[in-house]
Amino acid sequence: MPHSFRADALGEHRELYSGLIRLHVLHHAVKEPIFGLGMIEELGRHGYKVSPGMFYPLLHSMEEKGLLRSLHRSRPNDRRVYRATPEGRRALVIAKQRVRELFSELFEDVLAARSATKAARRTNVR
């Protein structure tokens, strides 16, 4: 379950997860408009305990890098809503390929065991 790694989520290994959090944010910003608190809750569901003091600067830095843009607010007190820019979408496509590659290396043994099981099943059927 997603909460099993909560203890480490943003404690002493924060720098390990900062890229994962950015990718997660980008993934959602490509799919739909996002806003700070909503995203903090979403990350919480995935086991990342993120404070507003850490998260808002992260959103701003992603905006400065051209990955996100904040949408126009009709009233100054409306919450700030972000979407991925075309550059953000491109960056996510490339990042997903890298995540896939990393994933297959991290889980090499699991994936190998799984396909071995499948092959064994196929042989048993015959």
Our CB check for Zn ion shows the closer of 2 and 11 to be 2
Other Cβ atoms closer than 10 A to 89: 14
Tell me whether residue 46 is exposed, middle or buried, using C-beta atoms within 10 angstroms of its C-beta: 0 to 12, 13 to 18, 19 or more.
middle
| Token pair listed for 40 | 């903090």
Our CB check for Zn ion shows the closer of 45 and 75 to be 45
Binders of Zn ion in range 40-69 (CB under 5 A): 42
> CB under 8 Å to 2, separation ≥6 — which residues?
45, 46, 47
Alpha-carbon separation of residue 78 from 9, 13, 70, 71, 81 (angstroms):
30, 34, 12, 11, 9
The beta-strand segments (E) located in 15-105 are 34-35, 68-70, 81-84
Stretch in the footprint of Zn ion (CB under 5 A) among 10-18, 35-43, 99-107, 110-118: 35-43
Stretch in the footprint of Zn ion (CB under 5 A) among 39-47, 54-62, 78-86, 109-117: 39-47
Tell me the residue number closest to Zn ion, measured at CB.
42
Tell the smallest beta-carbon distance from residue 121 to Zn ion (Å).
33
Tell the smallest beta-carbon distance from residue 125 to Zn ion (Å).
38
* Total residues binding Zn ion (CB under 5 A): 1
Our CB check for Zn ion shows the closer of 4 and 124 to be 4
Q: Give the binding site for Zn ion (CB under 5 A).
A: 42
